[in-house]
Structure 1
């Protein structure tokens, strides 16, 4: 990949990132979902940044794309997370394209169409959504939560089961009769990701859009985690921008401070420097994981042993990065208030959104379990899990727990 290719893509997208950043505070305060802003990215082709130029994309590798995603996250950390499922479904088609022709999907995405997600379900763990036949047609019935980005999307990447219990992946248009998406995500952070509920009621599915879940690209969980790392790294960059601007402009000083102006106070500058260093570490760590994503993508063309080793590496590295950034970035976002005083808690400034957003991102895929998984690899060479589910424990599980 030449520097010119990245420079061309960056020149196209960075002005849009600046426009997105300009309205981020107002959207946060009004709880206004970024339909318009995601529309700007669609029109510019950002959803095809990873797709080869021959299909109309930018042809960026993971390290290059990650750099731009971090810049987008610094402008508005909600948006990369809202695009998370689209990025993963794009990767699914890129991964398989050398084995079978996925041109139709690659061209759809290059034309600006986006995908959302419908994997997680409320209630009992596992998948209750069913793909069945009715009247000679395939129909989907179920209820999903955390359907991040679906409210902005043209397509939905859904996990379901056939009546015989077989796990399948289903892609369905958001315009299909029987598909409803609700903006009912009520978290205190990342409030504009569109992570609400999607319901499927006898929604018709094209047979060509059904595949075995077991055939999904193997590093999908690590990639999903990587986009959360991107959001954390972007939040840290935004914190640096805001703390520096507020210190630079601040006129009020404490009588027991160290300088006539806050901008010249050595203790304040030390804290700002520490925040900057944490942001640097977050970005550098995320870019390191991106390099490993490039290697695992390349390994699909190698032998099975090489591909397996690469998939273990990306799962572990994304987990290691998550463990560190989940503490590092909220800490940096909280330190902002140590240098700006009580006035920085003004709701008009909404500086607390950085901590709220970082802490919310850090709750995904709990890093305490990732710590155990990494430790088990280091000590026992236990291969990490690649897919897991979440849900309320069933009655049998509760009885087993009570009996222990």
Structure 2
């Protein structure tokens, strides 16, 4: 169930299969360098190049196209594993995998057919969507200041996008824009094309390596075959659920890493307080209780997101079969929303309890354990939980439909 439909294509070397030793080795390699990258001693570009070389961007494509043929739940399991290794990495990759999902649903359109060829070649896609100055964030009107205008036999793109997560590391950017006639379009541009300026100016307290800064487009040439009128694009109910659940899954992965780090910290402690329950910290039942709480928190967080991922996978399968199941999409959006509200709180508490297990030495800057709280807080702030909880409550009490645009 939930496996992407196989279609004939040119054979490519396959990306690592779900559960394979090759995939585990890649994730372990990413984890080994996470603290060095957080300290600025290693370059995140090297990780993305390693991922590109492994062709991990094809994870959801069929085996005949060089992919792993992974199910959607298996993709979210990959997000969990990558987030536990280094939460920046799956965050960087979110827009690429969201684009892959859309391309798989819309492969019958000539634009997506060409763009899928680029994905099969191992190339990575980013996104240019958000603009500052929009009053109603996420309602779809944020593309108005980025214009695509005719220029001879082609087009010219000009505008500024913010929160350009991952574009610094990618090959292509799908930019949301508007024509002079007021039609909304998506335009593909090369990251290194003349006029494209991807700025590494993200100054968030967490997810510091995601390059979630500004991208400026100045008279960028765009060919007609790289423009898609959005009214012709393939739509699904609750189109934002995939990306929202992705973020919550990253947080769940961080909680797993917190539990593992706390276990390591406690096991390495030698000294304990004179009035503690045991001389050796690892034998102290109060500290053992904290470790048990953290591993339980990780289990609950992972279970929540994987259940939502399974439901969303079934919904996506209905679209691949040509009959999108509205009820499945609504249920997936509701499960993803509930997961976000619960997991955010679980994760922030876990990031604090970690220091109770590790003792005062856990607060050393060299340990980099504060990055877990900073990263969780930054990701959770992408979509305020209070608004999501209110929508869930109104749905439960009055049967009010969930919002259908961004964030749901």
TM-score norm. by structure 1 comes to: 0.90
SS in 1 for 2:165: coil
2:361 aligns to what?
A: 343
Report the alpha carbon displacement of residue 220 of structure 1 after superposing the two structures with TM. Answer: 3.2
State the alpha-carbon separation in 2 of the partners of residues 200 and 169 from structure 1: 14
1:373 aligns to what?
A: 391
Q: Which of 146, 151, 155 pairs up with 2:163?
A: 146
**Matching of residues 5-404 of structure 1 within 5 Å:** 10-30=20-40, 33-97=43-107, 102-125=112-135, 126-127=142-143, 128-214=145-231, 215-218=233-236, 219-301=238-320, 307-388=325-406
1:397 aligns to what?
A: none
Contact preservation (8 Å) 1:33, 1:192:
no
Contact preservation (8 Å) 1:141, 1:202:
yes
Distance verdict in 2 for CA 1:335–1:60, change over 3 Å: same
State the alpha-carbon separation in 2 of the partners of residues 31 and 296 from structure 1: 42
Report the alpha carbon displacement of residue 100 of structure 1 after superposing the two structures with TM. Answer: 6.6
Contact preservation (8 Å) 2:244, 2:336:
yes
Contact preservation (8 Å) 2:105, 2:320:
no
SS in 1 for 2:20: helix
Contact preservation (8 Å) 1:225, 1:318:
yes
Distance verdict in 2 for CA 1:32–1:132, change over 3 Å: farther
Contact preservation (8 Å) 1:157, 1:169:
yes
State the alpha-carbon separation in 2 of the partners of residues 110 and 99 from structure 1: 16
Distance verdict in 2 for CA 1:303–1:156, change over 3 Å: closer
Report the alpha carbon displacement of residue 98 of structure 1 after superposing the two structures with TM. Answer: 5.7
2:8 aligns to what?
A: none
Report the alpha carbon displacement of residue 79 of structure 1 after superposing the two structures with TM. Answer: 0.5
State the alpha-carbon separation in 2 of the partners of residues 370 and 157 from structure 1: 28
Contact preservation (8 Å) 1:12, 1:44:
no
* CA RMSD across the alignment: 2.2
State the alpha-carbon separation in 2 of the partners of residues 67 and 348 from structure 1: 30
Distance verdict in 2 for CA 1:365–1:212, change over 3 Å: farther
Contact preservation (8 Å) 2:2, 2:314:
no
Residue by residue, what CA displacement relative to the aligned partner does 1:85-126 show, whole Å, maximum 9, x if unpaired? 001100011112367784433332132100112111122342
State the alpha-carbon separation in 2 of the partners of residues 7 and 44 from structure 1: 11
State the alpha-carbon separation in 2 of the partners of residues 112 and 363 from structure 1: 32
Contact preservation (8 Å) 1:161, 1:167:
yes
State the alpha-carbon separation in 2 of the partners of residues 91 and 119 from structure 1: 17
State the alpha-carbon separation in 2 of the partners of residues 81 and 31 from structure 1: 20
Q: Which moved more, 1:373-382 or 1:173-182?
A: 373-382
State the alpha-carbon separation in 2 of the partners of residues 149 and 191 from structure 1: 11
Contact preservation (8 Å) 2:16, 2:59:
no
SS in 1 for 2:361: helix
Distance verdict in 2 for CA 1:216–1:160, change over 3 Å: farther
Report the alpha carbon displacement of residue 387 of structure 1 after superposing the two structures with TM. Answer: 2.0
State the alpha-carbon separation in 2 of the partners of residues 339 and 229 from structure 1: 25
State the alpha-carbon separation in 2 of the partners of residues 315 and 375 from structure 1: 14
SS in 2 for 1:175: coil
Distance verdict in 2 for CA 1:314–1:183, change over 3 Å: same
Number of equivalent positions: 387
Residue by residue, what CA displacement relative to the aligned partner does 1:132-187 show, whole Å, maximum 9, x if unpaired? 11234211110011000100000112111111222222221112111010110001
State the alpha-carbon separation in 2 of the partners of residues 216 and 370 from structure 1: 26
Distance verdict in 2 for CA 1:165–1:33, change over 3 Å: farther
Report the alpha carbon displacement of residue 303 of structure 1 after superposing the two structures with TM. Answer: 6.9
State the alpha-carbon separation in 2 of the partners of residues 8 and 307 from structure 1: 27
State the alpha-carbon separation in 2 of the partners of residues 366 and 2 from structure 1: 30
Report the alpha carbon displacement of residue 45 of structure 1 after superposing the two structures with TM. Answer: 1.2
